[in-house]
Structure 1
Amino acid sequence: MRNYRMSLALLAVLFATLVAVEYYQPKPVDWRQSFANKDKIPYGTYVLYQLLPDLFRNQDITTVRQPILNHLEETPVRHTNYIFINDEFVLDSLDQQALLAHVARGNQVFIAAESFAEKFKDILHFDSHFTYTKSVKDRLGVYFVNPKRGKQRYYFEKRKSEGYFTLRKGAQVTALGRNSAGLLNFISIRFGKGVFYLNTVPAAFTNYYVLSPKHTRYAATALSYLPVQPVFWDEYQKQGGMGEQSVFRVLLAHPPLRWAYYITLVALVLYVLFEGKRTQRIIPILAPSTNETLAFVRVVGNLYFNNRNHKNIAEKKIRYFLEYLRLHFYESSPINDSEAQERIAARSGVAITEVNNLFYLLQKISNVPIITDEDLRQLNQQLEAFYNQTNR
């Protein structure tokens, strides 16, 4: 028991030490492309989201944490901007239908993504491509086509800015930006009374580049194409619905908590494997009880025999025999009753002469104070002979 407690205490100390080391050690930079407005990591959008009130002065900024269809059904507001910034823009048929109808009514939608839903591209007649090509230069410049938006070129990492558009027949597209290779990376597509603004450089809207003096104006300039009106900022495609913030999602989102969770699971498994066995001392195997009746009879018999008290033994045997007659033949006192003896002989099947001799011996022993070994032996023989004949 003491070893068990020491092992448990040592495990607890090691676990606490590991948690402390993980908590206090310098946190490595998280380079995930989350694009979430709550993340202050390089590729989150916390900074841009905080700047929206300055870009769209005196307008409501609404964070959307539900599917497009649900949000637009609950908030059928006209003249709004709907902003999506993510690594990919995913739509199902119902959300796509709702978004297209929303734009057709005169609203604007801004989408910055590296890839787009196939059916969405089919309806708006464009294709998107993203090809990372190895070259001497590891940066690629992008710029706005309209000189009024500035002639500056913004240089991003190639793998963050190589996305581009190609147009299909029938596309009503206005070129808004290109990269150094002359390929379209920022376009507007009129649809009904509204406009879609599509951009293939979502990294340009993240904290890393918005805070960079050389790139900070790109995101603001791109969003300046949107009119100053209420803004819907989508977080559903990045963080899911509000009801999806489960405990496990929070645990797995932070490396220290994630490792603590995994270590706890492993410790529980080890505890079940090693401490689930029986730790008490082994229960001894008890031999079954033996029948000591015969030995007891022998001990009692030897006791009486050694004391030479034959009369006592004979009286007990006579008393047992009379009880036997009472139970089996319903005769209570047949020793001096000849008629009773005849009934016993008839019922038991024992010859009348043997019955008379047995009762004569019983009467003789009962009337004398002391009996001999021979008298006791004869009594035992005749009683056993009677029992044997009646039990057949």
Structure 2
Amino acid sequence: MQTKHFIKYIVCSFLFLQIIGCKKTNWTENYREKEKSPFGTFIIKNEANTLFEGEDFVFLNTHIYDYLFENYETTSADFGNYILIKRNAIKLNEESIRDVLSFVADGNNAFLSLNYFSDELQKSLEFTSNNLDKNLLSIATLKERKGTFKIKDATKNKVSFYFDRNIKRHYFITYNDTTTTVLGTHKIGEEELPNFLKIQYGKGAVFVHTNPVVFTNYFLLKDTYSYTEQVFSYLPSSTILWDPHTANSKYLRNIEEDKGSVFSFFLRHQSLTWFLFTTLIGLFLFLFFNAKRKQRAIPVIPKPENTTVAFTQTISSLYLKEQNHKNLVDKKITYFLEKVRTKYLLQTHNLNQEFIEKLALKSDNDFSKTKYLVNTIITLNKKQECSKEELLVLHKMIDNFFKNKRNGDTK
């Protein structure tokens, strides 16, 4: 690596960016190789030939899985270094991770600097990480995140570097001591925690780094550029496979289609797999306990209503509303005579003296009152119209007759 050339390029890049930097600055972390904004990776990608002077540089236009598949014969052993600097390795699924690690096991190397490491990658390399600021997206909030990194130089001494913004508190929690070497740390609070590891894998090694932002244009234009030199000095001289992580795999897409499983995305991530299993178990238990036979509800049978009274009241109300008192008088007389025929077994076609005597005797009513009631019936029956008062008098007389009231007379 030629440090002088690297510094010269940095100065030229700074002047170039100053000239084109008249428009509003984009402070989002995009990690794009064509982006000249502060947190793009335009400088490091274009300076890779200087950083790795004398080595072949391959800028991948295809997915890494497709490249290794198509160039298997030339990349199988001691071929080069695979480099990926991004927010996350979203295009590296389970199949492509296995292929990259197989590439490493053959004697090659991989450098991965990410804000997020997938469950599959952590499981395969036997480490766990924690990002305390993984949910921070605000530019203003990230600006307040500062950090001090330490890294071992060529003489195995630790050198400190201060980064003044956008340093997420991302560090490694656990790792396999027998295969892992801690190359760098990040000071969080009062504790120095590992943020740069070398993990031996087969004949090669995987270098994992938790803060890709330090390799962006912003920090390469500051005095922290030498940190990048120190990090990449650990990679052996070999062909560089630089992955912009933009292309989709034409082979992996076919593999996923052949699997034909709607749960393939869930099964690629351990946390989502557990979520899926827990949901399915909960659904099974719900169906099991609710599938028991339940007694059908006993229907409520309403008590039959006696509508005769209501019907009678309705009819009477109708007649009263029409003020047809003669009609009601006739019906009261009909009702009375029908009751006499059924209760006392008397013929009512001739209401004479003999009828009155028999009726008074059988009903146990006073003769004079019985005669007065019968004469009233005969009189009202002959009339064409009746008054309300006559209707009420007739009703009261019939009612008293059947109640057997003698006004003090003994039976």
TM-score (normalised: structure 1): 0.51
Aligned to 2:60: 64
Q: Measure the CA separation in 1 of the matches of 2:85 and 2:196.
A: 13
Contact 2:145–2:167 (8 Å) recurs in 1: no
Contact 1:96–1:120 (8 Å) recurs in 2: yes
Q: Does 153-162 or 116-125 show the bigger shift?
A: 153-162
Q: Measure the CA separation in 2 of the matches of 1:26 and 1:55.
A: 29
Q: Measure the CA separation in 2 of the matches of 1:64 and 1:92.
A: 17
Q: Measure the CA separation in 2 of the matches of 1:118 and 1:241.
A: 21
Q: In structure 2, the residue corresponding to 1:240 is in which secondary structure?
A: coil
Aligned to 2:376: none
Q: Measure the CA separation in 2 of the matches of 1:75 and 1:211.
A: 36
Structure 2: gaps spanning 5 or more residues:
1-19, 251-411
Contact 1:65–1:241 (8 Å) recurs in 2: no
Structure 1: gaps spanning 5 or more residues:
1-23, 244-392
Structure 1 pair 54–100 and aligned structure 2 pair: CA distance change class (3 A):
same
Matching residue within 181, 203, 220 for 2:229: 220
Q: In structure 1, the residue corresponding to 2:128 is in which secondary structure?
A: strand
Equivalent residues in 2 for 1:93-132 (5 A)? 93-132=94-133
Superposed CA offset, 1:313-335 (max 9, x none) = xxxxxxxxxxxxxxxxxxxxxxx
Matching residue within 186, 204, 208 for 2:196: 186
Superposed CA offset, 1:96-127 (max 9, x none) = 11111100000000011111111110111111
Matching residue within 212, 221, 232 for 1:211: 221
Aligned to 2:242: 233
Q: Measure the CA separation in 2 of the matches of 1:205 and 1:226.
A: 15
Displacement of 1:85 in angstroms is 0.1
Aligned to 1:267: none
State the one-letter code of the partner of 1:57.
E
Structure 1 pair 161–54 and aligned structure 2 pair: CA distance change class (3 A):
same
Aligned to 1:175: 182
Displacement of 1:149 in angstroms is 5.8
Superposed CA offset, 1:33-87 (max 9, x none) = 1212111111111111122112212211111132221010122323200000001
| Aligned residues between the structures | 216
Confirm or deny that 1:202 pairs with 2:219. no
State the one-letter code of the partner of 2:180.
V
Displacement of 1:242 in angstroms is 11
Equivalent residues in 2 for 1:1-392 (5 A)? 27-76=23-72, 77=75, 78-79=77-78, 80-90=80-90, 91-132=92-133, 138-146=145-153, 148=155, 151-157=158-164, 159-168=166-175, 172-180=179-187, 181-213=191-223, 215-235=224-244, 237=245, 239-240=246-247
The percent identity for this pair of structures is: 27
Displacement of 1:158 in angstroms is 5.9
State the one-letter code of the partner of 1:71.
Y
Contact 2:66–2:249 (8 Å) recurs in 1: no
Displacement of 1:146 in angstroms is 5.0
Structure 1 pair 211–150 and aligned structure 2 pair: CA distance change class (3 A):
farther
Displacement of 1:148 in angstroms is 2.0
State the one-letter code of the partner of 2:220.
V
- For the aligned residue pairs, the C-alpha RMSD in angstroms reads 2.8
Aligned to 1:309: none
Q: Measure the CA separation in 2 of the matches of 1:234 and 1:60.
A: 14
Contact 1:88–1:113 (8 Å) recurs in 2: yes
Aligned to 1:253: none
Q: Measure the CA separation in 2 of the matches of 1:161 and 1:187.
A: 17
State the one-letter code of the partner of 1:148.
T
Contact 1:160–1:201 (8 Å) recurs in 2: yes
State the one-letter code of the partner of 1:120.
L
Q: In structure 2, the residue corresponding to 1:220 is in which secondary structure?
A: helix
Displacement of 1:139 in angstroms is 2.0
State the one-letter code of the partner of 2:106.
R
State the one-letter code of the partner of 1:160.
I
Superposed CA offset, 1:238-263 (max 9, x none) = x33599xxxxxxxxxxxxxxxxxxxx
Q: Measure the CA separation in 2 of the matches of 1:47 and 1:150.
A: 28
Contact 1:127–1:165 (8 Å) recurs in 2: yes
Q: Measure the CA separation in 2 of the matches of 1:145 and 1:217.
A: 12
Superposed CA offset, 1:189-218 (max 9, x none) = 0010010000011011111001112x1101
Q: Measure the CA separation in 1 of the matches of 2:155 and 2:227.
A: 13
Superposed CA offset, 1:275-294 (max 9, x none) = xxxxxxxxxxxxxxxxxxxx
Displacement of 1:26 in angstroms is 5.2
Q: Measure the CA separation in 2 of the matches of 1:153 and 1:168.
A: 23
